[in-house]
Copies of this chain bind each other. A is one copy, B any other.
């Protein structure tokens, strides 16, 4: 099980920071026109389902990782709505 746990832990860390560079890029360029709002909505749904799965199974690493990712996705949606015409 050791390699499986290691892969899981690495995946959790990478997941948590995946959308941070995208957030920074949108903030710096004040442009999000190329981002798909439908994909952002799917991400909200998807990460929410993961969060729900984590809550139902009491898996704290899944709750923390997906809580962080969901916050970043919500900020991207806000940016997309705010910077949409640039």
A interface, CB within 8 angstroms of B:
3-4, 7-8, 10-11, 14-15, 17-22, 24-26, 29, 31-36, 38-39, 42-43, 45-46, 49-50, 52-53, 56-57
Contacts and interface: CB of A to CB of B under 8 A. Distances in A.
Contact of A46 (B18, B25, B57): B18
A42 to B, nearest CB: 4
Contacts of A21: 36, 38-39, 42
Contacts of A56: 3-4, 7
A37 to B, nearest CB: 8
Most buried by B among A26, A42, A57: A42
Contact of A53 (B11, B26, B33): B11
